[in-house]
Structure 1
Amino acid sequence: MGCGTSKVLPEPPKNVHLDLVKKVEPSSGYKTDVCKLFIKGDGDGIKSAIPSPPCYTSPHVEQSEPRKNRVAKYRAKFDPRVTAKYDIKALIGRGSFSRVVRVEHKATKQPYAIKLIETKYHEGREVCESELCVLRRVRHTNIIQLIEVFETQERVYMVMELATGGELFDRIIAKGSFTERDATRVLQMVLDGVKYLHTLGITHRDLKPENLLYYHPGMDSKIMITDFGLASARKKGDDCLMKTTCGTPEYIAPEILVRKPYTNSVDMWALGVISYILLSGTMPFEDENRTRLYRQILKGKYSYSGEPWPSVSNLAKDFIDRLLTVDPSDRMTALQALKHPWVVSMAASSSMKNLHRSISQNLLKRASSRCQSTKSAQSTRSSRSTKSNKSRRVRERELRELNLRYQQQYNG
């Protein structure tokens, strides 16, 4: 979906608001709570500030130095126990204090991904513990699997399945044909995984297209849910309510924005946003101004105007409407969504029109727009910096007023 989507990380300090974000640099030894870190979110293309790059995507190797030198550089960082079992093949991604490499099991020749996390940094240790807590509990065909873990005093090596089929929307653009039936097949796999997570008391909290990957390039590939860096796992008997402010702005549920305790229904809101994009290639809520974006979300304000919506069935729109419901108690659960007539019938009674052209055009248009915004932001960053303090104060005041207004409405 373009050049990348910013992410709001857990729990901002009380005197900082949702739209005031900062770039996180690798720790220099001082103690910082990872739950108070943010990333830049003004369309600058920075995707993640936590050590959680997509460790399951098809290889994406940087070109700044010869490949052999890169591989040798990262192989040297691996514990001998790891290199005795796996051949290090290529660097896939990097975070503030993590690296992800594609590896091959020496005995079976099976490819995997290994996420190397520097746990000597407090932030890395916090995120690592959180992600491991979730991944060690899950085993489902539509959820990325943790294979094994190697731990040292300063590093953790998480061996995981490698999804080589690419992101959901990249596949749609390349496919050439996409109907409502195709959409329901995708959503059924995702809903199966989400229902399983919710049954275990796990809330993903960052569901979005970038975290839905195909396992392999074949036409019959399954979809896998990835990236559990923001997931919350509740043990049996624990309070099911969460309070941490986190997620990706365009996918954040209204109840999170008004700082109210929330449940796993926030995942269902995100699935409503994904469903909307899946059928149109456009976002239901989108604005470069973070305050206006949040206002749209809090009002649940979206429309079915423009292509290809006239060709989309009313049953599909009803499915989306039952997920993009501001009141979380009225929102469908994963089980209810799986039983919705549109999904159950696999859209058999719905429009079988090929929506591919409109969806692809909209996706590519948005990607181009986001990339141009990124370049523009980078070229004007120096001139804009002198005005940043003033604009920040304005945004603070606007969001304070917005939050106060909607909290009053929410409580009223």
Structure 2
Amino acid sequence: LPSRQAPPPASSMGCAQSSSGQARRKSRQLDRERYGYAVDSDEEDLPKKPKSQQPLQLQKPEKQQKQSLANQQPEPEADQQLHPGRTRRVQIDSAIRVKYNVSSILHRTEHSNSLVLKAVHRDTHEPFALKLVPAARASRFRTELSAIRRARHPNIVRCVTHIETPRFLCLVLELATGDRLSQRLNERGRLPELQAAVYSAQLLDGLAHLHSFGCAHRNIRTENLLFYHVGPDSRLLIIDFACALLPDSPDSEALAPPGSSASETPEGVDGRPCGQPADIWAVGMVTVAMLTGRKSAPVRPGQPPLLPQSLSEPARQFLAACLRPDPADRPAAAEARRCAWLTAASAVTAPTAASQRSASSSSEARRAASQSGSSSRCSSSRLGDSQLSETGTELRSNSDSTCS
């Protein structure tokens, strides 16, 4: 019988295992240096290194990487335009820095390649919002500047002045501390019907002022509606006039800009000119987003989005009028503002002297406003006739059920 060999001592087994582990780790390190990855098989099973392949350069330590990046000079064309995807610091021209102290970035707009900064005036210490537009977009900047300088309305962002530099065109705007309507819908979901009617009325008030001097915004969406402050009673502001259309604009700008709300209208999808009726369609889409809490499905020509079943009849009439496929059939902004649904919401939420004294007098004022409005009817033939007293009752019942 073959003689049995005695097992090696425990100490020698540990040394053998440790030495084999070190050899395996060393082999893996060599594989990483040769081929870029570790291989556990034998040497003959390793893939052959192509002759044309250059030797792999080892990654520099983090300290050397930072030092090499610091020594690199910036690209000469990097500061000519704003790149939303980059995280580098934006070089502000001295003509802007001498008047304003820039503190932070508020918003980046990809479709117009612009940047909104928060700044404080060095002399008056008043906060402002600076919108920087690349100098390459000078033609569109002139249109945006002309539209926003002529607008004087509580529901439109106010432009104080503008600054032109060789690299940037700067709009100095009033600073609004509230969030955007899109952010509020993402955080809180759908709004009560009464609150959505109030915001739609404010939106139409601002659009009626713009349309009065022939301006069409053409990019009304929840991202371009900003609250003036964070309080629940904040007013809504229309911002971003980069896609605006004026009466003296060239015919080449009559078509809907790509990515704008006008491009989602039936006339925009068909490639027809888009003007003020496109804003009315956008008001209907924004109202649907407020009532559902999400952005509607992509629009097809002649097919407006589906409406929730829980809407009141006056709200359905308002949305049906705004979302008519033919632009000629849609009401004007001032006409849509006089519809029964919005008029009743304004009557319920309008502040009065009696409502400021006590809660009891506030309820009496609301009841008197609803009773006095029951005798009047909506004068718009396109929106349909409905009594304000009935609409006010439906609005109050819907808002109570939603909040409960």
**TM score, norm. by length of structure 1:** 0.59
Distance 1:299 1:175, change over 3 A: closer
**Larger relative contact order (Cα-Cα within 8 Å, sequence gap ≥ 6):** 1
Question: Residues 318 and 95 from structure 1, CA distance in 2 versus in 1: closer, same or farther, beyond 3 angstroms?
Answer: closer
Q: SS state of the match for residue 162, structure 2?
A: strand
Q: Call closer, same or farther: CA 1:277–1:258 in 2, change over 3 Å.
A: same
SS of match in other structure, 2:160: strand
SS across alignment from 2:393? coil
**Secondary structure at the residue paired with 1:170?**
helix
Distance in 2 (CA, whole Å) between partners of 1:207 and 1:357 is 29
Report the count of equivalent residues: 280
Q: In structure 2, the residue corresponding to 1:92 is in which secondary structure?
A: strand
> Which one of the candidate residues 227, 230, 233 is aligned to 2:243?
230
Cα RMSD after superposing both structures: 3.6
CA contact (8 A) 1:208 1:251 kept: no
Residue 128 of structure 1 pairs with residue 138 of structure 2: no
Q: Counterparts of 2:341 and 2:255 in 1: how far apart (Å)? A: 33
**In the alignment, does 2:305 pair up with 1:302?**
yes
Residue from 114, 118, 124 that aligns with 1:108 = 124
- The residue aligned with 1:313 is 312
Q: Tell me what 2:163 maps to.
A: 150
Counterparts of 1:82 and 1:245, CA distance in 2: 30
**Could you tell me which residue of structure 2 aligns to residue 90 of structure 1?**
104
Cα displacement (A) at 1:256: 1.8
Deviation at 1:27, TM superposition (A): 12
Q: Which residue of 265, 275, 281 maps to 2:277?
A: 265
The aligned amino acid for 1:272 is G
Tell me the equivalent position of 2:335.
Answer: 336
CA shift in 2, pair 1:218/1:356, >3 Å: same
Shift of 1:231: 0.8
Q: 1:332-373 deviations in whole A, cap 9, x for unaligned?
A: 1111111100011115232435679989xxxxxxxxxxxxxx
CA contact (8 A) 1:113 1:161 kept: yes
CA distance in 1, matches of 2:279, 2:265: 8
Who wins on radius of gyration, i.e. which is larger?
2
- Within-5 A mapping of 1:66-77: 73-74=89-90, 77=91
1:242–1:99: structure 2 CA closer, same or farther, 3 Å change rule?
A: closer
Change (3 A) 1:99 1:259: closer
Report the CA distance between 1:199 and its aligned residue.
Answer: 0.8
- How has the CA–CA distance of structure 1 residues 94 and 277 changed in structure 2, closer, same or farther, with 3 Å as cutoff? closer
Q: Aligned pair in 2 of structure 1 residues 103, 198: CA closer, same or farther (>3 Å)?
A: same
Q: Equivalents in 1 of 2:402, 2:194: separation in Å?
A: 16
**Which of 213-222 and 347-356 deviates more?**
347-356
- Name the aligned partner's letter for residue 317 of structure 2: D
SS in 2 for 1:115: strand
Which residue does 1:352 correspond to in 2?
A: 396
The aligned residue for residue 197 of structure 2 is 184
Return the letter of the residue paired with 2:325: V
Q: Distance in 2 between matches of 1:145 and 1:52?
A: 26
Per the TM alignment, residue 63 of structure 1 is displaced from its structure 2 partner at its CA by 11
Distance (Å, rounded) in 1 between the aligned partners of 2:96 and 2:146: 21
Cα distance in 1 for partners of 2:392, 2:255 equals 40
Aligned to 1:78: 92
- Specify whether residues 78 and 356 from structure 1 end up closer, same or farther in structure 2 by C-alpha distance, changes over 3 A only: farther
Superposition map of 1:150-299 within 5 A: 150-172=163-185, 178-235=191-248, 242-248=254-260, 252-284=264-296, 286=297, 293=298, 296-299=299-302
What is the Cα deviation at residue 253 of structure 1? Answer: 1.4
Does the Cα contact within 8 Å between 2:115 and 2:131 map onto a contact in 1?
Answer: yes
Give the Cα separation in 2 of the matches to 1:51 and 1:126. 17
Q: Any idea what the Cα deviations from partners look like across 1:1-58, whole Å, max 9, x if unmatched? A: xxxxxxxxxxxxxxxxxxxxxxxxx9969xxxxxxxxxxxxxxxxxxxx9798xxxxx
Structure 2 residue runs of 5 or longer lacking an equivalent are: 1-74, 346-390
**Does the 8 Å contact 1:172/1:356 carry over to 2?**
no
Q: Which residue of 2 aligns with 1:395?
A: none
| Aligned residues of 1:51 and 1:95 also touching (Cα < 8 A) | no
**Aligned CA distance change for structure 1 residues 52 and 185 (closer, same or farther; 3 Å):** farther
> Match for 1:213: what amino acid?
L
